[in-house]
Amino acid sequence: MRKTELLAFLQNQTDFFDPDNLSEVFTASWLARCFAMQRNTASHYLNQLVAQDVLVKINTRPVYFLHKKSLLPAVLPAFPQ
């Protein structure tokens, strides 16, 4: 259940992702505080979602987690059809 809540939250928030202004909203620490869970538990859920190819993990410090399907339209320009 908590993993589903994290996923839904990140799906919504990734729509507002700005690569020029990285927000802590996408970090395990912030998500753990927001969802009242331990950081390692949040990291565990987030890494499971990365392994399932649902989230993208940006390996910086801090690490950022973004919803893959929500991120792609923001990163890739729309091509004329």
Asked if residues 6 and 58 have their Cβ atoms less than 8 Å apart, the reply is no
Residue 75 has pLDDT above 70, yes or no: no
| Structural domain of 36 | 2-75
Q: Is residue 81 part of a domain?
A: no
Q: Is residue 19 part of a domain?
A: yes
Q: Is residue 8 part of a domain?
A: yes
The model's pLDDT over 20-38, given as tens digits with 9 standing for 90+, comes to: 888 888 999 999 999 999 9
The model's pLDDT over 38-74, given as tens digits with 9 standing for 90+, comes to: 999 999 999 999 999 999 999 999 999 999 998 877 6
Q: Total structural domains in the chain? A: 1
Query: What is the CATH number for 32?
Result: 1.10.10.10
Q: Is residue 80 part of a domain?
A: no
The predicted model scores a pTM of 0.85
Q: Is residue 14 part of a domain?
A: yes
| Per-position DSSP letters for 60-81, written without gaps between them | SSS-EEEEHHHHHHHHSPPPP-
